[in-house]
Amino acid sequence: MSNKKRLIENVLSLATLQGLNYILPLLTIPYLVRVLGPDNYGLVAFAQSFIQFFVILADYGFNLSVTNQIAIYRENKEKIQTIFSTVMTIKLFFLIICFLILCLSVYLFPKFQGHRLVYVITFGTVIGNILFPVWFFQGIEKMKYITVLNVFAKTIFTVGIFMLVKNSDDILIVPLLNSVGTIFIGLISLGIIKKTFSLSYVMPCLSDIKYQLKEGWYVFISTVAISFYTVSNTFILGLFTNNTIVGYYASAEKIINAASGIVSPITQAIYPYISRLMAENRERTLMFIRKVLFIVGGGTLFISLCIFILAENIVDVALGDKYTHSVGILRIIAFLPFLIGLSNTFGIQTMLTLGYKKAFSNILMVASILNVLLAVIFVPMFKHIGTAIAVLTSEFFVTFTMFVYLRLKGIKLLEGKHV
């Protein structure tokens, strides 16, 4: 299969998955926010944001750093097997650390003690994410496996929500379905890797472990930084306010996440393609990235404008009359899809593939500090609105700074001129 045909197949596979990711939340979110109510829905969202920190720690940036390696060495089975085994070993070690931290948190801190089971059950998604090596399937550019497995799990989750969640007392069922689904597809994916690609686990040597930790470090720091102005917003809001306020913000954020996800099939599929193309022809790759920039930028700008204009109608239809406080939040963060689309192209597709890992990491670290400072200042005064302002400002900073950095390096994507 040619590179272009493989790229098109991967885009279509991920588009199918993302279409389901877009449609199913439109079905489940309106149902859950009404059945659970703002308070319980806020608790579920707060638990998910807390557990997401463990997902990020266990991932350690491998979804980008290792994807790149698999894409380069995909014809070398022995090399891929070594990479696979090393990464899975590191992830297992991180899983143990994460679980110990979780246990200490739910037993030592009053904020978590009242709903220990919610946090423990939600932790199952960490196990599932470790078992499901998305980075492997992306690296070998076989996205159809990711699509089929996710479609199956998400369909079961959606059906389970409507069948089992009947009132606010069924709050534990939501994280349980999510955790069981992710663990199940994780186990199946490992079976596919063993049977279809004939890969087995081999004990990695210390030098391989050190190498992968070093390779993933800057991406890991970048991912942690990103979490401070994405995932952590719900968490910080929950620390300063209550579950109901979290529910108002989290429900609006879910809508934005669904909208932002529309372009992710393109960005996910082209990353390994760009990684290989950059090694072959730098100028040709940059021209390709420029085309991607205009497609992604134009598409996300249209989406953001629609959300801003139709915010009141969207909240009314998707969330209901109990969530009128979410309208203002939605309008403020309406332009996040546009900014995220641009920063993804500037950062992941361009800076990382050109080797500017340290600069990429530094920009995100500064943005994370900025976001935390803004959240600490604005949340006590403006609550959920303060959180929205903080995250929008931080995302704008990231996008603008990456754009300026690339121009200083002679990469002028908007003009098609490069040095």
Answer yes or no: are the C-beta atoms of 51 and 294 closer than 8 Å.
no
Q: Which residue has the tokens 């946090």?
A: 119
Rounded CA-CA distance 124/131 in Å is 11
The residue among 419 and 42 whose pLDDT is bigger is 42
Which residues have C-beta within 8 Å of that of residue 213, sequence separation ≥ 6? 60, 90
Q: How confident is the model at residue 265 (pLDDT cuts 50, 70, 90)?
A: low
Q: Which residues pair with 418 in a beta bridge?
A: 411
Nearest-angstrom CA–CA distance, 260 and 262: 6
Q: What percent of the chain has pLDDT over 70?
A: 90
Residue 254 sits in which domain range? 3-418
Query: Which alpha helices (H) appear in 60-142, and where do they start and end?
Result: 62-73, 77-108, 110-113, 116-122, 124-131, 134-139
The total number of structural domains that make up the chain? 1
For position 418, what pLDDT does the model report?
A: 54
Per the DSSP assignment, residues forming a β-bridge with 412 are 417
Query: Do the beta carbons of residue 113 and residue 68 sit within 8 Å?
Result: no
Query: How close are the terminal C-alpha atoms of the chain, in Å?
Result: 33
**pLDDT one-digit tens code per residue, 71-95:** 788 778 888 899 999 999 999 999 9
Instruction: For residue range 169-227, list pLDDT tens digits in order.
Output: 889 999 999 999 889 989 999 998 888 888 888 898 999 999 888 888 877 877 777 66
Read off the amino acid at residue 86: T
pTM: 0.69
